[in-house]
């Protein structure tokens, strides 16, 4: 499928190409205003030609506006027009909240029908007038109005101390999470290099930002293409479980997504777009896996060794940025007899392209996100599906999860100026800490219900059970098997489509939910504890990933030859602000310990913040002509003490939950117990009182 994004705008210049002129002491990166983005856009300004709008009739405009989110229109139209009537509209709590935590949840807000009609009418009037004036260059309007406009789009008051973060999320400046240079000496800039390990979400952003900053870099990627987990996970039903509008980088705001929750191939299309748009492929070494990263104290450099198509290769760099995700190494269960099975057996992340599903007897082992996504899709094609479940997980009905967006929504993205920006903001707000955070904190004094951990947790649990009863009420045996013992949000919440999901699949004649324990795999299938041998053609392992084994299987050695596994031996991986470790100078983990978004917000946001932090540290090294930066032991201990204290109040600390959210030591190495606003404030500027620069 081809991208709908226009090709206007200047392409990125080559690495290390800086203009010679300087403005106010800042060297300006060539092409920094647009740098090949999908629309010809500089900060707060849109020069995109809109020939499609010029040809639109009044009726087409009116029809399209009817598909816009009223809150999005409310904020956008106030920003573009300053209409006091729009500012005077009000939002109120809905009579019945939603069990979907991705659209406002129990505290979802609504606008009255009269106010919606006013906002839509004003939007129609604006867009017709804009068309009639030639649909040319347009400015976002007064910047001092933006805070009020975002508040109107949010539907509620916003913390003033976090407003700069939310303005970044609006994505008016595509490089808001990059760096603007103080003047470096050409020799220092030319002699500085970075190795990025991984070309998924975090690695591609790092590469684009490094190129924008003019820093020499190399990317090492173990797969033959970009995309990380989305390059690998191509099983039927694989799709993102965060809204796609929040699952893009700030510089990707204008990328056209045809789904609210994109399937894997659309996610892959986005990552290919990033790699191609910013001309990154020439600096990515594909099919090349980093095997060791060793610090050379004398040279103050990292030596990175990798295995690729041409054998062993070695790079030396001032900085290493690891962009390896936590969901990248399949977890294979130790089930007796797997090597004896005569059919096909594989992990979901290794789905074979040549697999024919029609008429096949297929087993799915595992009922996390992958298993619950995969099973209903297999049920539509396979002869029979057996879903082997050790424990159920909470599912949350999410309207539009399997349904493409109406084409009018993308039409508005292309033709209503800054529509995509305000949709992005609104989506991030609804999934951010102010909205989602309340679901994730337990109440230590809560004693009203033994199955939940707070009043709002009980409301969400009751809503989830109501959904289960709607689907399985006529199958009491299945209903009992699908109610988890752990409270909602103590394990990964699973978004499902309310019209068709795993709950609909398990009541089909060609699907069996198996809850008896697996004894072993046989030549013909799977033997369970009740003595039944389930004959199979295919066994799929939906058994997750080695999420707690950070950086594995790379060898990583810092000062004095100390291995990272030695530092982490006591209670699992830790880091300073999720990215740095004492004794490992100039090493930045973009998806490090305790950065998996849990407190509200998404991993994309955190990875962008970490990347900017790393770039600012590099900027300091280059401008000040220093060799290394690392956290102090005191700073490392202080930050992790805050982590440990904060996670005591998180739902995932409930002892009934057993999943990758907690490691073998009983603490979380993966989850970030803070909202994105805490991480933003922690990462916006390096605190050199807690860093050692040499």
- Residues 614-646 as b or e (16 or more Cβ within 10 Å = b): bbbbbbbbbeeeeebbbbeeebbeebbeebeeb
How high is the pLDDT of residue 599? 77
User: Residue 359: is it exposed, middle or buried by C-beta count within 10 angstroms (0-12/13-18/19+)?
Assistant: exposed
Contact 544, 610 (CB under 8 A): no
Model confidence at 102, in pLDDT bands (50, 70, 90)? confident
Residue 515 CB coordination number (10 Å): 19
Q: Give pLDDT tens digits for 239-284.
A: 999 999 999 999 999 999 999 999 999 999 999 999 999 999 999 9
Q: Give pLDDT tens digits for 150-186.
A: 999 999 999 999 999 999 999 999 999 999 876 666 7
Contact 322, 610 (CB under 8 A): no
pTM of the predicted structure, to 2 decimals: 0.92
How high is the pLDDT of residue 42? 60
Model confidence at 83, in pLDDT bands (50, 70, 90)? very high
How high is the pLDDT of residue 41? 58
- 478-488 average pLDDT score: 98
- 81-89 average pLDDT score: 97
How high is the pLDDT of residue 344? 98
Quick check: 40 pLDDT over 90? Answer: no
Q: What is the 3-state secondary structure (H, E, C) of 539-605?
A: EEECCCECCCCCCCCCEEECHHHCEHHHHCCCCCCCCECCCECCCCCCEEECCCCCCEECCCCCHHH
Residue 399 CB coordination number (10 Å): 14
Sketch out the chain's domains with CATH numbers: 37-157+409-433 (no CATH), 187-329+549-650+657-693 (3.50.50.60), 338-402+443-486+497-541 (3.50.50.60)
Quick check: 14 pLDDT over 90? Answer: no
Report d(CA 189, CA 213) in Å as an integer. 10
Taking the alpha carbons at both ends of the chain, their separation in whole angstroms is 50
CA dihedral 269, 272, 277, 278 (to 10 degrees): 140
Quick check: 35 pLDDT over 50? Answer: no
Quick check: 556 pLDDT over 70? Answer: yes
């Amino acid at each position: 499928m081809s991208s709908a994004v226009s090709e206007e705008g200047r392409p990125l210049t080559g690495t290390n190409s800086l203009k010679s002129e300087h403005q106010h002491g800042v060297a300006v990166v060539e092409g920094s205003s647009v740098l090949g983005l999908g629309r010809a856009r500089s900060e707060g300004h849109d020069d995109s030609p809109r020939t499609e709008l010029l040809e639109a009739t009044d009726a087409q405009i009116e029809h399209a506006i009817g598909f816009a989110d009223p809150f999005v229109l409310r904020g956008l139209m106030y920003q573009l027009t300053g209409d006091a009537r729009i500012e005077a509209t009000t939002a109120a709590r809905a009579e019945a909240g939603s069990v979907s935590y991705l659209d406002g949840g129990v505290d979802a807000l609504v606008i009255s029908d009269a106010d919606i009609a006013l906002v839509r009418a004003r939007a129609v009037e604006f867009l017709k007038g804009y068309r009639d004036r030639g649909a040319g260059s347009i400015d976002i309007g007064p910047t001092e109005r933006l805070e009020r406009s975002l508040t109107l789009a949010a539907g509620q008051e916003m913390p003033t101390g976090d407003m700069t973060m939310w303005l970044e999320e609006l994505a008016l400046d595509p490089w808001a999470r990059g760096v603007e240079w103080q003047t470096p000496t050409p020799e220092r800039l030319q002699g500085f290099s970075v190795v990025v390990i991984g070309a998924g979400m975090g690695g591609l952003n790092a590469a684009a930002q490094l190129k924008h900053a003019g820093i020499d870099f190399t990317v090492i990627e173990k797969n033959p293409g970009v995309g990380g987990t989305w390059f690998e996970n191509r099983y039927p039903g694989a799709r993102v479980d965060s809204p796609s509008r929040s699952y893009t980088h700030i510089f990707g705001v204008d990328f056209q997504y045809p789904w609210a929750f994109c399937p894997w191939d659309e996610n892959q299309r986005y990552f290919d777009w990033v790699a191609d748009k910013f001309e990154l492929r020439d600096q990515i070494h594909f099919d090349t896996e980093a095997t060791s990263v060793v610090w050379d104290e004398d040279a103050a450099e990292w030596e990175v060794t990798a295995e690729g198509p041409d054998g062993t290769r070695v790079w030396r760099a001032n900085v290493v940025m690891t962009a390896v995700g936590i969901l990248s190494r399949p977890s294979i269960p130790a089930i007796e007899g797997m090597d004896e099975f005569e059919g096909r057996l594989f992990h979901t992340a290794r789905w074979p392209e040549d697999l024919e599903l029609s008429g096949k007897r297929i087993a799915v082992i595992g009922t996390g996100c992958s298993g619950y996504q995969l099973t209903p899709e297999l049920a539509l094609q396979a002869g029979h599906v057996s879903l082997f479940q050790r424990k159920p997980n909470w599912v949350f009905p999410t309207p539009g999860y399997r349904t493409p967006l109406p084409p009018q929504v993308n039409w508005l993205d292309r033709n209503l100026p800054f529509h995509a920006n305000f949709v992005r903001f609104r989506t991030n707000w609804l999934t951010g800490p102010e909205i989602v955070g309340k679901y994730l904190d337990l109440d230590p004094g809560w004693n009203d219900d033994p199955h939940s951990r707070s009043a709002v947790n009980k409301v969400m649990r009751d809503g989830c059970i109501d959904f289960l009863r709607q689907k399985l009420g006529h199958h009491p045996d299945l209903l009992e098997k699908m109610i988890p013992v752990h409270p909602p949000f103590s394990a990964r919440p699973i978004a499902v489509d309310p019209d068709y999901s795993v709950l609909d699949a398990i009541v089909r004649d060609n699907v069996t939910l198996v809850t008896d324990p697996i004894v072993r795999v046989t030549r013909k299938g799977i033997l369970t504890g009740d003595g039944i041998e389930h004959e199979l053609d295919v066994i799929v392992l939906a058994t997750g990933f080695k999420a707690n084994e950070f950086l594995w299987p790379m060898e990583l050695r810092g000062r004095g030859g100390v291995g990272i596994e030695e530092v982490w031996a006591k209670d699992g991986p830790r880091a300073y602000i999720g990215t740095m470790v004492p004794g490992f100078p100039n090493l930045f983990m973009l998806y490090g310990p305790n950065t998996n978004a849990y407190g509200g917000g998404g991993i994309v946001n955190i990875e962008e913040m970490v990347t900017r932090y790393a770039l600012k540290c590099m900027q300091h090294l280059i401008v000040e002509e220093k060799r290394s930066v690392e956290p102090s032991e005191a700073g490392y201990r202080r930050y992790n003490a805050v982590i440990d204290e904060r996670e005591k109040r998180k739902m995932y600390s409930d002892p009934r939950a057993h999943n990758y959210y907690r490691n073998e030591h009983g603490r979380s190495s993966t989850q970030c117990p803070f909202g994105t606003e805490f991480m933003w404030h922690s990462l916006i500027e390096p605190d050199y009182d807690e860093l050692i620069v040499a």
